[in-house]
Structure 1
């Protein structure tokens, strides 16, 4: 079974930016999520994929990712309304491997999370000085939960504005 073993961290400074070797824009659509299992569609560069991830067990989870035709991906995105994220992923080499620093746009503007994939759960990770709090496994930092919270907050702000305008 293909395993994804990763740790996630908040980013506390922009010191990583000068170290990034390249970047790419990604668009993710959450197709479904239930009991820790999620299905995602992604477009980046010339590649489009469908990915199924199991619930996390420790730092690991099963990950099945398949290339799909772009027109299929676009058709699937049409079913992801309100569950689409856009981000720029920056690749930053470090002593422990390549860090993927995701700078979110639109609904999650201002959110920056760094991830590092590991060969084993016991791999020791040397943290660069720009890395902040670890959020691996923290449900507040799952993409789906972050998006749900931001959309909820936006609706509350919209309702408050409507109430104030009607007074």
Structure 2
């Protein structure tokens, strides 16, 4: 079983990001979601596709079981058409800082305006020195989970 341990943050208002090491264009569609479980299909740069199943831990939204499998791009496109939810479209900027790899997602379309920085960690209690551009932590706020954004896009929030 795969385990994902991830913390999520908003950016500090007015902060500048360092240069990205890599930029990926992603779109994903959820085919099932509920009770802490989600099944999604993700396309990366229209060249790679993955089927992912996630199950949230009861203790923390930072810890989830995760199973991810490569699938043909053509299959992913067909499966995306079956989704009853909004597609989550984003541009991911990967920023490497020492041993850490930050993934900063700039959401597009229905979630335009939302920017979330994610950091995968080896353990829940791993010590992390946060860069100056990191703001409020939103790890345990379910609204910032991608599957939540597929059901309740950022554009519908009362900001």
TM-score category of the 2 structures, normalised to the smaller one: 0.7 to 0.9
Q: What runs of 5+ residues in structure 2 fail to find an aligned partner?
A: none
CA contact (8 A) 1:5 1:61 kept: yes
Higher relative contact order (CA 8 A, sep 6+): 2
Structure-2 residue corresponding to 1:54: 55
Q: Please state how far the C-alpha of 1:42 moved relative to its aligned partner.
A: 0.3
From 69, 73, 78, the equivalent of 2:81 is 78
1:122 aligns with 2:129: no
Where is the helix percentage greater, Structure 1 or Structure 2? 1
The within-5 A match list for 1:2-13 is 2-12=2-12, 13=14
Where is the strand percentage greater, Structure 1 or Structure 2? 2
Give the 4+ runs in structure 1 shifted more than 6 A. none
Aligned counterparts of 1:113 and 1:84: Cα–Cα separation in 2: 17
Aligned counterparts of 2:95 and 2:131: Cα–Cα separation in 1: 10
Aligned counterparts of 1:37 and 1:89: Cα–Cα separation in 2: 23
CA contact (8 A) 1:49 1:73 kept: yes
**Aligned-residue CA RMSD in angstroms?**
1.9
Report which stretch shifted further, 132-141 or 55-64: 55-64
Q: What runs of 5+ residues in structure 1 fail to find an aligned partner?
A: 155-167
Q: Please state how far the C-alpha of 1:64 moved relative to its aligned partner.
A: 0.1
Aligned counterparts of 1:140 and 1:115: Cα–Cα separation in 2: 14
Q: Please state how far the C-alpha of 1:151 moved relative to its aligned partner.
A: 7.5
Structure-2 residue corresponding to 1:41: 41
Aligned counterparts of 1:96 and 1:21: Cα–Cα separation in 2: 14
> TM-score under structure 2 normalisation?
0.88
Structure-2 residue corresponding to 1:160: none
Structure-1 residue corresponding to 2:24: 24
Q: Which has the larger radius of gyration?
A: 1
Structure-2 residue corresponding to 1:157: none
> TM-score under structure 1 normalisation?
0.84
